Amino acid sequence: MTGTTTNSIAAAAPALILFGSPGSGKGTQAKLLRESFGPHISTGDMLRTHISAGDDLGQSAETLIKAGKLVPDEVVNELVAERILEPDCKDGLILDGYPRTVKQAEVLLKMMQRDRFRPAVVHLVVDYDKIVARLSGRRQCPVCGTIYSSTSNPPKIAGKCDRDGSALETREDDKESVIRERLREYDSQTLPILDFFQKSGVSMFEINGGEDTPQRILERIRVALATVNGGASQASVRS
Ligand code: ADP
């Protein structure tokens, strides 16, 4: 597949868009890929930081997130627009959980063009029953963000982060009823983005994210991205 019009800019930095349903492994892969691509930008993590800070943005986002609903486009668009201008994004970046609506995708492609990024989409596909099982058993370190799974990747000491010993937490939106609502939002609002990206000529790769270890899935992503002209393969060389 060929790239977007932004791909014609030789100096453009790679922007890896990790796409997939809640619980498809975007955050896990982003953490594994950030050494090679650049910072991991998760709109979910950014919103949770505002919630912890108790500021106005956090307070309005909290109710929506707890109900499994999306936060308004303008809010997340602004967070991302500011973040990608920071110096650490200069050579590339990874987006996780953004865009989530066609409107966000339209805004993102304009930003990519303006700020000279070359987008490539990796779509992690996972069966929804597996998602519900995965998310219900997911635990996260509130300090370093490491994600554990009670089945496939448990911490060495139950309930404690291997890296810093912090008490692991379950996200409030990882309850089954909320997970189902998040999947409904994904089907209705997020999946149509794929069509939009395809029509816009963005490079896209579909990866089975439901089988295998995170490390093997990572290898598949690297192989796929190495086929994109220029930046992604440069990025792997830097890894
Ligand atoms: P997951 O991908 O597992 O659902 P995230 O941490 O990416 O988890 O997102 C958690 C919640 O934050 C979402 O359910 C949604 O309410 C909100 N959110 C995150 N990113 C966006 C976005 N780009 N647009 C709207 N809402 C968002």
| pLDDT tens by residue, 124-160 | 999 999 999 888 898 999 899 888 988 778 999 999 9
Domain assignment present for residue 135? The answer is no
Sign of CA dihedral 233, 234, 236, 237: positive
Q: For residue 192, is the peptide bond before it cis, meaning its omega torsion is within 30 degrees of 0? A: no
CATH number at residue 44: 3.40.50.300
Give the separation between CA 42 and CA 33, rounded to whole angstroms: 13
Q: Which residue range forms the structural domain that includes residue 221?
A: 6-127+186-230
Ligand 1 pocket residues where CB is under 6 Å: 22-23, 42-44, 47, 64-65, 68-71, 76, 97-98, 100, 104, 173, 182
Tell me whether residue 216 is one of the annotated catalytic residues: no
Domain assignment present for residue 149? The answer is no
| pLDDT tens by residue, 151-163 | 778 999 999 999 9
Domain assignment present for residue 47? The answer is yes
Q: Where do the DSSP E strands lie in 21-58? A: 40-42
Q: What is the pTM of this model?
A: 0.85
Domain assignment present for residue 147? The answer is no
- Number of domains into which the chain is organized: 1
Ligand 1 atom with the smallest distance to the CA of 97 is 7
pLDDT category of residue 3 using cuts at 50, 70 and 90: very low
Counts for the chain of helices (H) and strands (E), in that order: 10, 7
- Rounded to the nearest whole angstrom, what is the distance from the C-alpha of residue 9 to the centroid of ligand 1? 31
Give the separation between CA 209 and CA 239, rounded to whole angstroms: 21
Q: Where do the DSSP E strands lie in 80-133? A: 93-96, 117-125
Tell me whether residue 171 is one of the annotated catalytic residues: yes
Domain assignment present for residue 150? The answer is no
Tell me whether residue 139 is one of the annotated catalytic residues: no
Residue with CA at minimum distance from ligand 1 atom 6? 44
Give the separation between CA 50 and CA 163, rounded to whole angstroms: 24
* Chain centroid to CA 18: 5
Domain assignment present for residue 219? The answer is yes
- Rounded to the nearest whole angstrom, what is the distance from the C-alpha of residue 70 to the centroid of ligand 1? 6
Catalytic residue among 26, 31, 34, 118: 26
Domain assignment present for residue 146? The answer is no
From 100, 135, 174, mutation site for ligand 1 pocket: most ligand atoms within 8 A of C-beta: 100
Which tokens go with 141? 């370190």
Which residues fall within 8 angstroms of residue 117, CB to CB, at 6 or more apart?
6, 12, 13, 14, 15, 84, 92, 93, 111
Given a contact cutoff of 8 angstroms between Cβ atoms, the answer to whether 179 and 23 are in contact is yes
- Rounded to the nearest whole angstrom, what is the distance from the C-alpha of residue 43 to the centroid of ligand 1? 6
Tell which wins on pLDDT, 73 or 5: 73
Catalytic residue among 118, 134, 138, 139: 138
DSSP 156: S
Domain assignment present for residue 196? The answer is yes
Span of 16-30, 100-114, 170-184, 194-208 with lowest mean pLDDT: 170-184
Give the separation between CA 46 and CA 21, rounded to whole angstroms: 18
DSSP 212: S
Classify 147 as helix, strand or coil: strand
